[in-house]
Amino acid sequence: MPLITLRDLYKTYYLGEVEVQVLRGISLDIAQGELVALMGASGSGKSTLMNILGCLDHPTTGEYRLEDQEVSSLSSKARAQVRKTAIGFVFQSFNLLARTTALENVMMPLTYSADTLSTRDMQQRASALLQRVGLGDRLEHLPSQLSGGQQQRVAIARSLVNRPRLLLADEPTGNLDSRTSEEILRMFQELHQAEGISIILVTHDPVVAQHARRIIQIHDGLVVDGIGPEAPPTAAETPRGAA
């Protein structure tokens, strides 16, 4: 069973009288445990696609199945439910809460998702994740006391705290220098290999996309098939809709 199945996905915005077709029939499959890069120039529709994949938005028409669950027509409340159980987000600008310690930043999603967890358990889980991203000695530091790379690692720990099956990273290295970028991308690769989490990297940077096992090119709201840089895609991984 593929993790994500998209079929004939359309997204149309209405700016007054003008109708803007951003996605024009996207169909693709992403299997469980894949590390995929979603590439495209700005305006290609990749952000819109990412919002739909992240259940922040719903398509105008088309089918989106996440783990065999049809999510394209869910209410906003039900989408929030999907987000907190299945999806983790990493943003370009980190989006950490200011004046809040790293530990509390990582714990924050749990306040919405884990009613049954005690505060102690929440702290343990969060500090274990911070340990894992190499910030075990910076639990009580505020974002302003951390470097950009460290902040992004806090954000990655935060995205993992709900144990998602899918990690969406929107330009995760856009605000980082090349050396730190490399570190962060290594971390994604390592997470992907060790935990088997499916990761989608959204980027316009081919260097970043190189780190993925498969690249999906978006152009003008359509999938332009990309080839995995390290290994040719197997038949199962080939997006059928783009053929």
Partner 1 sequence: MTYYRTLRTALRGLRRNVLRAALTTLGIVIGVGAVIAMMEIGHGSSIAVQRTIASMGANNLMILPGTAASGGVSFGAGSVMTLTPQDADVLAQNAPAVDSVAPVVRARTQVVYGNHNWVPMAIYGTTQAYLQVRNWTTLAEGEAFTEREVRNASKVCLVGATLVRELFGGDSPVGKEMRIQNVAFTVIGVLERKGANMMGTDQDDVILAPWTTIKYRVTGASLANPNQSSVTTDPNAVNTLNLLYPVTQQSLYPVPSTAEQADTPQPVRFANVDQIIAAARSAPQIPAAIQQITTLLRERHHLRPGADDDFNIRDMTEITKTMTSTTELMTTLLLCVAMISLVVGGVGIMNIMLVSVTERTREIGLRMAVGAEPGDILRQFLLEAVVLCLLGGAVGILLGRSSAYLVTSLLHWPTAASVGAMITSVAVSASVGVVFGYYPAWKASRLDPIEALRYE
- Candidate list 77, 137, 144, 178; residue touching partner 1; CB under 8 A: 77
Burial string for 67-104 (b: 16+ CB within 10 Å, else e) reads beeebbebeeeebeebbbebbbbbbbebebeeeebbbb
Burial of 157 (0-12, 13-18, 19+ CB in 10 A): buried
Separation between Cα atoms, residue 6 and residue 48, nearest integer Å: 14
CB of 49 to partner 1, least distance (A): 12
> Please, which of residues 112-171 interact with partner 1 by CB under 8 A?
112-113, 115, 158-159, 162
The residues with which 201 forms a beta bridge, in sequence order, are 37, 169
- Candidate list 20, 41, 97, 227; residue touching partner 1; CB under 8 A: 97
Our finding on whether 60 is near partner 1 (CB under 8 A) is: no
Query: On the CB side of 109, how many CA atoms lie within 13 Å of its CA?
Result: 26
- Candidate list 76, 124, 193, 210; residue touching partner 1; CB under 8 A: 76
Binding segment toward partner 1, per CB under 8 A, in 26-34, 63-71, 103-111, 190-198: 103-111
Our finding on whether 104 is near partner 1 (CB under 8 A) is: yes
**40 token code pair:** 């495209």
SS3 92: coil
Strand order in the sheet with 18-30: 18-30, 4-15, 61-66, 69-70
CB of 84 to partner 1, least distance (A): 2
Question: 133 to each of 15, 97, 149, how far by Cα in Å?
Answer: 42, 18, 11
- Candidate list 26, 34, 89, 150; residue touching partner 1; CB under 8 A: 89
Residue count at the site for partner 1 (CB under 8 A)?
29
| 96 secondary structure, DSSP code | P
Our finding on whether 242 is near partner 1 (CB under 8 A) is: no
Between 12 and 81, name the residue whose CB sits nearer to partner 1: 81
CB of 133 to partner 1, least distance (A): 17
- Candidate list 73, 85, 124, 145; residue touching partner 1; CB under 8 A: 85
Q: Which residues bind partner 1 (CB under 8 A)?
A: 51, 54, 56-57, 76-77, 80-81, 83-85, 88-89, 91, 95, 97-100, 104, 108-109, 111-113, 115, 158-159, 162
